[in-house]
Amino acid sequence: MDSKLRKMAILSSMAVILLVSLLVLYLNREDGKPGNGTSPGNGFSQEETQGAKDSGAPDSKNPGNDSAGGQVGNDLSAFLKDSTFFDEEVDPYLEELLNDINRLSLVVTSVEKDLRIQIVDRDGEPVTGESFYVELEGLGEYKDLDKDGIIYIGDLAAGEYFVELLPIGDYRVPGNATRVRVKDKVEYLAIEDISLLIKTEEEIDAEAEDTAVAEALEDADKTEVKKLQNAAGAKTGIDVSKWNGDIDWDKVRSAGVEFAIIRAGYRGSVTGSLVEDPRFLENIRGAAASGMPVGVYFFTQAVNEVEAVEEASAVLEMIREHNIRYPVFIDTEGAGGNGRADGLDAETRTLVCEAFCRTIENAGYQAGVYGSRNWYNHNLYADRLENYCIWLAEYRKVPVYQGYYQMWQYTSKGEVDGIEGNVDMNISYLGLD
């Protein structure tokens, strides 16, 4: 249930509770107690009750007075006309609950000379659909232009700032400004509360956003091997994503597959949204249940180091409850020529990969980079990445890539029992048990 539906459900529940409370108070008013000439439990005198039954109409001697504000005939809402029916004082507990429902707070982070301000509800979920304004002391106001509950401010000088969420509608905003520190340089540490930025495919246009293109296909030749290979001192594995559909992991394991690299997610090629692969949890749990060791990869469309840290942070959030024995890879490929990161120069793209890997390693995992032979040769400074696990994609019997690598994806057209259709196959020289 998203935050808007949850809020509507809570408000509806509160309204029902309030109405029931008011009815109970009404039925137990002082003039409805035994001993004062009334019938216990209904709030009316016997004469009034009988008169209402007989006439079904208001008291003709007192026009506008519907039996002292109670029910008259079939008029179930007559009590609403009685100005003395409702207590003047609102239950402070109910008032606090109603205020709490609309309470907002800020989550503010900085990676490098920037601020990302997230407006969240009492459950910590981003509040969307509103044109929020924040005021940054000394610099003025900033607006949530796309109404996604996030305001990004870049090109800030390092130092301490105060951020205030300005009042809006019926929301209850923080009474004090939030103090934050803008970092001078990237520290390659996981971003707190990155989970607020991770989306599902139901929240985006997946067809437009998930557009990775396998560069290795352009370099494939007719010598590629499409079956599981057994190499001395190496292990044979697969890598999978949502495109592989339902997987019978027990059959895959029994077929001789020794490890799996599972896609955790991707950054959208158009909007740059961080998106979890819809099959990620299903795949990583299925592989674990079969006893198969796993690693993960994330398709990047980061355009700078800050975004690379975001991507690494998103992956770390996704895998924190899982046993990851193989590396965590950044998948650097093109997105059909129109991706937001397709035009990066080799220096910037290398910095992106380094930032991702350093963040992953600072969290205690082994990091790696995935790319095709041509991608390593022309779009990266591969020698600067060889401290990490290099995962080469080259679809031929014997790779001709001259650089150093520790994993090799040798085909995208493999076949293995337990997976319908083609699957990527790999050889690992990492020497992991």
Q: What is the pLDDT of residue 124?
A: 86
Q: What is the pLDDT of residue 36?
A: 42
Distance CA 324, CA 293 (A): 7
Q: What is the pLDDT of residue 170?
A: 86
What tens digit of pLDDT does each residue of 360-394 get?
A: 999 999 999 999 999 999 999 999 999 999 999 99
Q: How confident is the model at residue 337 (pLDDT cuts 50, 70, 90)?
A: confident
Q: In this structure, what token pair is assigned to residue 201? A: 């495919």
Domain boundaries, given as residue ranges, for the chain = 3-94, 102-182, 194-428
Distance CA 210, CA 241 (A): 12
CATH, domain range 102-182: 2.60.40
Q: What is the pLDDT of residue 179?
A: 94
The two domains 102-182 and 194-428 share their CATH topology (first three levels equal)? no
Element (H, E) at 299: strand 294-299
pLDDT at 52 over 50: no
Q: What is the pTM of this model?
A: 0.76
Q: What is the pLDDT of residue 200?
A: 97
Mean pLDDT of 304-324: 97
pLDDT at 68 over 70: no
Mean pLDDT of 10-20: 64
Q: What is the pLDDT of residue 377?
A: 96
**Residue/partner pairs of 135-138 with CB below 8 Å, 24 or more apart:** 135/163, 135/164, 135/166, 136/161, 136/162, 136/163, 137/161, 137/162, 137/163, 137/164, 137/177
Q: How confident is the model at residue 273 (pLDDT cuts 50, 70, 90)?
A: very high
Q: How many helices (H) and strands (E) does the chain have?
A: 9, 17
Q: How confident is the model at residue 25 (pLDDT cuts 50, 70, 90)?
A: low
Mean pLDDT of 249-258: 97
Higher pLDDT, 331 or 60: 331
pLDDT at 352 over 70: yes
Homologous superfamily assigned to 194-428: Glycosidases (3.20.20.80)
Q: In this structure, what token pair is assigned to residue 379? A: 């779009």
Distance CA 158, CA 134 (A): 19
